[in-house]
Amino acid sequence: EAGVVQSPRYKIIEKKQPVAFWCNPISGHNTLYWYRQNLGQGPELLIRYENEEAVDDSQLPKDRFSAERLKGVDSTLKIQPAELGDSAVYLCASSPGTGAINIQYFGAGTRLSVL
Amino acid sequence: GQQLNQSPQSMFIQEGEDVSMNCTSSSIFNTWLWYKQDPGEGPVLLIALYKAGELTSNGRLTAQFGITRKDSFLNISASIPSDVGIYFCAGQLYSGAGSYQLTFGKGTKLSVIP
């Protein structure tokens, strides 16, 4: 069974440019998460989806970040415009989303460098 | 918000040695998880702990969920070169109605000297 798939793996852009990341979760997983991981840190949640609904976006910088999960499967995360401080690894994770035992499985991430 | 203190931050060990790392929190969690992250990859789940006091093994890995629900440790026995990577603890809080919060520590970077 395929795991969480993310693309692109790497992205280099100049500041003020837009950028988008794509995530395909594990089949059947209702819950999808976007995390940002800065160098030397653990992942930090940006947004969580239950099916197509964003149920926790309190940590998403909404002035420049947006996300969508149309049809409750794939998701995209967009930054417009990008700033130097946005350089990080953006991780997508998915989980079954039911019950008290709800393990998250991560994709390989997209490493963003903003110049 | 919740914070996890993970230690040590990094460690260098000789191949064959045992390793121990731990995580503490000021808040309780329903679940403790240990992930390993290799360079250029996402975190991969190693062990999940669901009950206070639970001791679980996965091959050479052993982890325990602290009785107070505020701490956990991970041991690796007889380390090998492929154990190199960054190990993250994560505490998960189930707050009902399908709402889960996962908080990560800052990681322990393990280097194994052959």
Residue B42 has pLDDT above 60, yes or no: yes
Chain A residue closest in CA terms to B31? A101
- Name the CA dihedral angle for B37, B43, B45, B50, rounded to a multiple of 10 degrees: 110
* Chain A interface includes B45 (CB < 8 A): yes
Give the span between the Cα atoms of B7 and B27, in whole angstroms. Answer: 17
How far apart CA B39 and CA B83 sit, in angstroms, is 12
A106/B42 CB distance under 8 A = yes
| CA B21 to chain centroid | 7
Distance (Å) from the alpha carbon of A109 to chain B's nearest alpha carbon = 6
Supply the pLDDT for residue B20: 97
How many CB atoms are closer than 10 A to CB B68? 11
Q: Do B43 and A43 touch (CB under 8 A)?
A: yes
Across chain B, mean pLDDT equals: 92
How far is the C-alpha of A109 from the C-alpha of B15, rounded, in Å? 30
Averaged pLDDT of chain A: 92
Question: What are the tokens at A101?
Answer: 């035992």
Report yes or no: B26 and B3 within 8 Å, Cβ to Cβ.
Answer: yes
CB pairs A-B closer than 8 Å = 59
Residue range A57-102, pLDDT digits in tens? 888 999 999 999 988 899 999 999 999 999 999 999 999 876 656 7
Q: Kindly list the residues from chain B whose CB atom is less than 8 angstroms away from the CB atom of residue A9.
A: 40
Chain A partners within 8 Å of B108 (Cβ): none
Q: Of the candidates A26, A9, A23, A79, which has an alpha carbon nearest to the alpha carbon of residue B39?
A: A9
Nearest to B105 among A6, A42, A105 (CB): A42
**Residue closest to A29 by CA, chosen among A109, A108, A113, A106:** A106
- B24 min Cα distance to partner chain A (Å): 15
Query: Contact A32/A92 with Cβ under 8 angstroms?
Result: yes
Kindly report the nearest CA distance between residue A78 and chain B, in angstroms: 20
Mean pLDDT of B44-50: 94
| Chain A partners within 8 Å of B107 (Cβ) | 40-42
CA distance A32 to A108: 14
A1 contact partners, CB below 8 Å, separation of at least 6: A26, A27
Query: What is the average pLDDT across B94-106?
Result: 79
Among chain A residues, CA nearest to B33: A103
**What is the distance of C-alpha B110 from the center of its chain?**
12
Phi, psi of A54, deg, nearest 5: -80, 110
